[in-house]
């Protein structure tokens, strides 16, 4: 097996999930990590048994793959730098905060012949795979109705801890852009191409610290005629986790629930005639909200699955499970959601191809 030389750019909260995955994956060597903060890179590299490099040095180390774990608006610069050096690149979600940037990233990687993958590790939950399979094998039939709820807790200190969080320019949005993007991705993976949305959002709890939304509601219309609803907030105490549910043309419904936030989602509703099962994601009581480090840590097994799938795709010269084009679909929906919240009218979901001009 060819040994892939891996690097990580950005050594903050989520980067450890990537570094641990590369370190533990047979056939991959974690070579180096970099950060604009050299002390942070040094401590992180030591923790994962890799070298620390400056962002300039990193791409001279003969890497095959790199993970991009920097704030969303910086994804474009790092991904295009990787492409320019012929390095395959696995970028954290959301792919970018505007569709033009996503288009430039996709175009740069396609022109350079490097593989671009984007982290949506919640697709790798067995429960999500089971719902996708029930759509594909006809158990649910063509989806006609969906729902996603993202009912989370954040302390205001979450937004004040890092300067980039909570502004339109540097975070690109609030709960929709940063948290609900995972569930929007699952909705569109299950229901297909979204064509029109209506949305409203508000800042109901964290307004002293952020200018973006902490609460939002929306309806979505899909090319197939399917409809879905979405509600999202970081204003809950305690948080109630997330749910995604799909009803198919057979009338059967399947839903998954993630509780507490970060835990592996389980099927909580399997309303398929003859095989019905319903469970509550909540135990006897509601557990306390977990610190961010624990939420990110509990996502690590699914990061590891997606990193392994990405490494296989690079070796096999095929598309990974979540390509840049695929990841741009949730960003296109987000673009329309924010446009609708601003205009007060339904808005068409733009397509990535309209943005790619090369
Ligand atoms: N897949 C998931 O579930 C998940 C979970 C958490 C975060 N994320 C995503 O990961 C990204 C990072 O989030 P985080 O919470 O780890 O952020 P963070 O602020 O904790 O870490 C970001 C790091 O990047 C560094 N950095 C900034 N600009 C850089 C640049 N140009 N080059 C090199 N380093 C740079 C910062 O110094 C910091 O150490 C975000 O896009 C976020 O949405 C995804």
CATH code of the domain in which 180 resides: 3.30.360.10
Closest residue by Cα to residue 151 from 207, 219, 211, 217: 217
CA geometry: angle at 347 spanning 219 and 242, to 5°? 30
Give domain status of residue 265, yes or no.
yes
Give domain status of residue 218, yes or no.
yes
> Taking 80 as the threshold, does the pLDDT of residue 93 lie above it?
yes
Give domain status of residue 227, yes or no.
yes
Q: What are phi and psi of 316, to 5 degrees?
A: -85, -10
Residues 191 and 136 grouped into a single domain: yes
Give domain status of residue 357, yes or no.
no
> Taking 90 as the threshold, does the pLDDT of residue 356 lie above it?
no
119 C-alpha to ligand 1 centroid (Å): 12
What percent of the chain has pLDDT above 70?
Answer: 99
**Ligand 1 interacting residues, C-beta cut-off 6 A:** 9-15, 34-37, 40, 55, 69-72, 74, 78, 92-93, 119, 121, 162, 178, 296, 299
Q: Among 38, 58, 66, 71, which residue has the most ligand 1 atoms within 8 Å of its CB, making it the best to mutate?
A: 71
Give domain status of residue 349, yes or no.
no
Q: What is the distance between the alpha carbons of residues 233 and 213, in angstroms, rounded to a whole number?
A: 8
Q: What is the distance between the alpha carbons of residues 258 and 110, in angstroms, rounded to a whole number?
A: 35
Residues 150 and 278 grouped into a single domain: yes
Q: In this predicted model, what pLDDT tens digit does every residue of 113-150 receive, in sequence order?
A: 999 999 999 999 999 999 999 999 999 999 999 999 99
Whether the ω angle into residue 238 lies within 30 degrees of 0, i.e. cis, is yes
Residues 53 and 103 grouped into a single domain: yes
267 C-alpha to ligand 1 centroid (Å): 30
Q: What is the distance between the alpha carbons of residues 140 and 250, in angstroms, rounded to a whole number?
A: 6
Give the CB-side neighbour count of residue 292, counting CA atoms within 13 A: 13
> Taking 80 as the threshold, does the pLDDT of residue 311 lie above it?
yes
Q: What is the distance between the alpha carbons of residues 164 and 13, in angstroms, rounded to a whole number?
A: 14
Whether the ω angle into residue 261 lies within 30 degrees of 0, i.e. cis, is no
In the beta sheet, which residues pair with residue 348? 196
Strand duo 28-34 + 4-9: pairing? parallel
The domain total for the chain is 2
Q: Is 83 helix (H, G, I), strand (E, B) or coil?
A: helix
Element (H, E) at 257: strand 253-258
Give domain status of residue 113, yes or no.
yes
Residues 60 and 98 grouped into a single domain: yes
Residues 146 and 284 grouped into a single domain: yes
Position 283 scores a pLDDT of 81
Residues 255 and 156 grouped into a single domain: yes
> What number does the ligand 1 atom closest to the CA of 178 have?
43
Residues 311 and 196 grouped into a single domain: no
Q: What is the distance between the alpha carbons of residues 326 and 222, in angstroms, rounded to a whole number?
A: 16
Closest residue by Cα to residue 262 from 14, 37, 45: 14
Give domain status of residue 353, yes or no.
no
Residues 194 and 337 grouped into a single domain: yes
Give domain status of residue 102, yes or no.
yes
**Domain of residue 31, CATH code:** 3.40.50.720
Residues 67 and 187 grouped into a single domain: no
Position 357 scores a pLDDT of 60
For residues 102 and 352, the answer to whether their CB atoms sit within 8 Å is yes
DSSP 277-320: EE--SS-SSPPPPPPHHHHHHHHHHHHHHHHHHHHHHHHHTS--
Q: What is the distance between the alpha carbons of residues 211 and 100, in angstroms, rounded to a whole number?
A: 23
> What number does the ligand 1 atom closest to the CA of 119 have?
1
Residues 22 and 165 grouped into a single domain: no
> Taking 70 as the threshold, does the pLDDT of residue 187 lie above it?
yes
Q: What is the distance between the alpha carbons of residues 175 and 198, in angstroms, rounded to a whole number?
A: 16
What band does 11 get if pLDDT is binned at 50, 70 and 90?
Answer: very high
> What number does the ligand 1 atom closest to the CA of 70 have?
24
Position 249 scores a pLDDT of 97
Domain coverage including residue 160? 122-289+331-341
Residues 218 and 233 grouped into a single domain: yes
Q: Is 115 helix (H, G, I), strand (E, B) or coil?
A: coil
Residues 71 and 134 grouped into a single domain: no
């Amino acid at each position: 097996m060819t040994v892939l030389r891996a690097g990580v750019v950005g050594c903050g909260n989520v980067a450890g999930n990537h570094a641990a995955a590369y370190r533990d994956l047979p056939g991959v060597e974690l070579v180096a990590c970099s950060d604009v903060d050299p002390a942070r890179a040094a401590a992180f590299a030591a923790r994962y048994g890799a070298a620390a490099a400056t962002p300039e040095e990193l791409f001279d180390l003969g890497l095959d793959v790199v993970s991009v774990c920097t704030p969303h608006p910086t994804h474009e610069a790092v991904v295009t730098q990787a492409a320019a050096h012929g390095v395959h690149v696995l970028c954290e979600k959301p792919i970018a905060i505007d569709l033009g940037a996503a288009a430039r990233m996709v175009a740069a990687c396609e022109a350079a012949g490097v593989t671009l993958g984007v982290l949506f590790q919640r697709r790798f939950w067995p429960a999500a795979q089971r719902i996708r399979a029930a759509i594909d094998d006809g158990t649910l039939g063509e989806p006609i109705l969906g729902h996603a709820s993202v009912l989370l807790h954040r302390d205001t200190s979450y937004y004040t801890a890092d300067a980039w969080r909570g502004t339109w320019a540097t975070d690109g949005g609030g709960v929709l852009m940063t948290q609900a993007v995972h569930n929007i991705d699952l909705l569109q993976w299950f229901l297909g191409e979204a064509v029109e949305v209506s949305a409203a959002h508000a800042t109901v709890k964290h307004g002293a610290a952020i200018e973006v939304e902490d609460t939002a509601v929306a309806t979505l219309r899909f090319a197939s005629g399917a409809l879905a609803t979405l509600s999202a907030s970081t204003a809950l105490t305690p948080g109630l986790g997330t749910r995604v549910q799909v009803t198919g043309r057979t009338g059967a419904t399947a839903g998954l629930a993630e509780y507490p936030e970060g835990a592996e989602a389980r099927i909580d509703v399997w309303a398929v005639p003859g095989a019905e099962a319903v469970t509550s994601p909540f135990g006897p009581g509601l557990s306390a909200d977990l610190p961010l480090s624990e939420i990110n840590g509990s996502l690590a097994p699914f990061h590891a699955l997606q990193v392994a799938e990405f490494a296989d795709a690079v070796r096999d010269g095929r598309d990974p499970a979540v390509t840049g084009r695929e990841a741009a679909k949730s960003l296109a929906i987000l673009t329309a959601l924010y446009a609708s919240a601003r205009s007060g009218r339904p808005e068409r979901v733009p397509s990535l191809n309209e943005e790619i001009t090369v």
